[in-house]
């Protein structure tokens, strides 16, 4: 399994899309939140506030490991079906990181996509959907680091890609990591 981690705007989604185009199935952590919100009749707002609020509330009520427990169940189903190369998209917390390392010892690699802050803020401000200004990104960063422990999985990653360049450079760097971990 390959878990992609990084701050908002780092290029995680671009990396995950590239890997899924190569045929690797993905499990999207945020998707677990969306499914549960839908199940409970909670509408997603354009600014992402309902998702943020629900994500923090469910982790508080059900445990910091709620999302990762859903992901583990889905991963085990894929593994039981014979799939060994799975992309995990959206590991947010230190709890999730530790739980995955414990649940899949020796079978999970963490790849952090990092980018200089100025470039990251620029990219986020130009997004077609969910664009944010620098102040909103700073607040989101603070919230994700303080409330969700997002820095831990990034700090604990096995590999890092500095994504300050082009998309094709990012793809080349991903391929180098895949070769090194013998993912194919």
**CATH no. for residue 141?**
3.40.50.300
What integer pLDDT is reported at residue 131 of this predicted model? 58
Cβ-count burial 67-100 (b if 16+ within 10 Å, e if not): bbebbbebbeebeeeeeeebbbbbbbbbbbbbbb
- Residue 56's CB: how many other CB atoms inside 10 A? 13
The answer to whether 141 touches 7, Cβ cutoff 8 Å, is: yes
> Exposed (0-12), middle (13-18) or buried (19+): which is 159, by Cβ within 10 Å?
middle
Structurally, how many domains does the chain consist of?
1
pLDDT at 128: 67
Structural domain including 123 reads 2-181
Beta bridge partners of 114: 162
Consecutive 10-residue averages of pLDDT for the chain (184 residues): 92 96 94 93 86 87 91 96 93 91 95 94 78 75 79 95 97 96 71
Identify any residues that bridge with 109 across adjacent strands, giving them in sequence order: 2
Measured CA distances, 56 to 6, 17, 42, 123, 144 (Å): 18, 26, 14, 25, 10
């Amino acid at each position: 399994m390959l878990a992609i981690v990084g701050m908002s705007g780092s290029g995680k989604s671009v990396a995950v899309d590239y890997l899924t185009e190569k045929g690797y199935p993905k499990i999207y952590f945020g998707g677990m939140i969306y499914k549960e919100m839908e199940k409970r009749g909670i509408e997603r707002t354009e600014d992402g506030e309902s998702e943020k609020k629900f994500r923090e509330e469910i982790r508080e009520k059900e445990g910091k490991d709620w999302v990762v427990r859903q992901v583990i169940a889905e991963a085990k189903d894929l593994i039981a079906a014979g799939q060994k190369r799975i992309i995990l998209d959206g590991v947010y917390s230190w709890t999730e990181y530790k739980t995955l390392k414990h649940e899949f010892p020796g079978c999970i690699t963490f790849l952090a996509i990092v980018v200089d802050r100025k470039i990251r803020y620029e990219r986020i401000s130009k997004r077609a959907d969910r664009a944010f200004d620098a102040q909103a990104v700073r607040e989101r960063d603070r919230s994700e680091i303080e409330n969700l422990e997002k820095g831990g999985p990034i700090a604990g990653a096995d590999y890092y890609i500095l994504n300050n360049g082009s998309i094709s450079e990012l793809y080349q760097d991903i391929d180098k990591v895949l070769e090194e971990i013998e993912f194919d």
